[in-house]
């Protein structure tokens, strides 16, 4: 798989692809939270705290295989305190901010990925993509 695989295994590009998976999952978690803002007893969900730390460590290590092996999971966040009588701990403004931030992150990541792919094309064909 050397010639073809080597086109795509730069650790930056692999990290970008994995981060896009993370962003897509985070969007679903935020959607779940905002959908249940009025549901009594609902606890907000997010990607696990341990996953975030693992992600930072792996990105610093610059190992494409390790980054590709990361598996983002949604976890229930019971640490955030509930400010309401019904036990629901979703704060709408905070979730909306996370929503916008996540979408912008995804935009940036998709631009990075496009850049890498276009660069590959230019290198291969000798013509600007």
Partner 1 sequence: MIPISSIPTNSFTGAAAPLTMRNFQADLERTGGLKESALASGATQGVGEDPFGTMMKKFVNDVDSKMKVSATEKNKVMTGESTNLHQAVIAGQESSVAFTLMVELRNKLVESYQELMRAQV
Partner 2 sequence: MNILGASSITGSALDAEKIRVDITSQNIANANTTKGIDGKAYQRKIVAFESILDAANGNGLQGVRVSEISADQAKGELINNPQHPHADKDGNVQMPNVNVAFEMVDMMTATRSYEANLAVVRNARQLANQALAIGR
Helix (H, G, I), strand (E, B) or coil at 100: helix
Nearest CA among 110, 125, 97, 123 for reference residue 7:
123
Segment 50 to 89, residues that bind partner 2, using CB under 8 A: 73-76
Closest distance to partner 1 from the beta carbon of 89 (Å): 26
Look up residue 124 and give its two tokens: 């291969």
Single out the residue of 8, 52, 56, 101 in contact with partner 1 (rule: CB under 8 A): 8
Answer yes or no whether residue 107 interacts with partner 1 by CB under 8 A: no
15 binds, among partner 2, partner 1, none (CB under 5 to 8 A by kind): none
Other CB atoms closer than 10 Å to residue 97's CB: what's the count? Answer: 12
Single out the residue of 5, 73, 79, 85 in contact with partner 1 (rule: CB under 8 A): 5
- For the bound state, the minimum distance from the C-beta of residue 4 to partner 1, rounded and expressed in Å, comes to 4
Residues whose CB is less than 8 angstroms from the CB of residue 128 and which lie 6 or more positions away in sequence, other chains included: 122
């Amino acid at each position: 798989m050397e010639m073809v695989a080597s086109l795509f295994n730069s650790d930056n590009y692999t990290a970008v692809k994995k981060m896009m998976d993370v962003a897509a999952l985070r969007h679903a978690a935020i959607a779940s939270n905002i959908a249940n803002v009025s549901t009594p007893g609902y606890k907000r969900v997010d990607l696990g705290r341990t996953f975030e730390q693992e992600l930072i460590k792996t990105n610093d290590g610059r190992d494409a295989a390790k980054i590709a092996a990361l598996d983002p999971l949604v976890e229930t966040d019971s640490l955030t305190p509930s400010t309401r009588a019904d036990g629901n701990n979703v704060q709408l403004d905070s979730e909306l901010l996370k929503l916008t931030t996540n979408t912008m992150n995804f935009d940036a990541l998709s631009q990075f990925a496009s850049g890498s792919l276009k660069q590959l094309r230019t290198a291969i064909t000798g013509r600007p993509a």
